[in-house]
A and B are shown apart, each in its own frame.
Chain A
Amino acid sequence: MNQYLMIQSKSPWESREVGHFYALARELRQSGGEVTFFLVQNGVMAARTGANDPGLDQLLGAKVKVLADDFSLRERAIDPESIKNGVSPSPIDQVVDLLAGGAKALFC
């Protein structure tokens, strides 16, 4: 099974590309890949409970593992207890582990 690491650094309100990146993650998952979607930098803004981002909500419903960088959350005063169900706060070490394990990595 192909492993994919998709790192999303932009917020969905900052760039239209984010929507396409979410869609690509769903498609790679639907094709049988194991996808980890890592939100970092402004990408974590979509993780706030109540953030209006249907793209991320769709991703969460699609069996894609969604992680949010713990430093980026703290930097933006996003309480890890107040993020969307299904998003897990995570140290950046997770990215390193996936890279070390040979995941195909994409950065947006």
Chain B
Amino acid sequence: MARYLSIIDSAYRATIEEQDDTAVWFTHAMKNGGADVSILLRGDAVNYAVTNQNAKGLRFGSRAVKGPDMVRDINAVIAKKIPLFVVADDLAERGIPMSEVLPGVEQIQRGAIAKLIEGHDRILTW
């Protein structure tokens, strides 16, 4: 069985309409089906690992929009034991301190991405 690495750098693209991040969701669904998967958040997607995200409160006319719960979804990925990596350099560039990163997320340096890729058989770029 191949080891898959989902590299996600697209962030908040369709999260309101989809009520989740579709790359995180897809990878989680693969895991539910029995796949061996890991996730690397990089670029703006490192923001998915931040606590206190809140997309509630939108309404169009009388229709409330439930919105995504990215904190719930990232915690679910961690609880499912899907290795979740985030690029530390990208957090730092964005001024995101360690104290705002969800527990269970493993930080790696940008220079270590090559080694992470080497250790997986298939790469899914999102």
Contact = CB atoms under 8 A, between A and B. Distances in A.
Nearest to B42: A20
Interface in B26-51: 42-43
B118 A17 contact: no
B115 A17 contact: no
Interface in B81-119: 110-111, 113-115, 117-118
B7 interface: yes
A7 B71 CA distance: 32
Given A17-B9, A17-B43, A24 B113 contact: yes
Consensus secondary structure, chain A interface: mixed
Interface of B: 7, 9, 42-43, 110-111, 113-115, 117-118, 120-123, 125
Interface centre among B9, B43, B114 (most CB of A within 10 A): B114
B111 A27 contact: yes
A96 interface: no
A104 interface: yes
Interface centre among B7, B117, B120, B122 (most CB of A within 10 A): B117
B7 A106 contact: yes
Interface centre among A2, A23, A104 (most CB of B within 10 A): A104
A106 B123 CA distance: 6
Contacts of B110: 20, 23
A105 B110 CA distance: 19
3 smallest A-B Cβ distances: which pairs? A27-B114, A107-B125, A28-B114
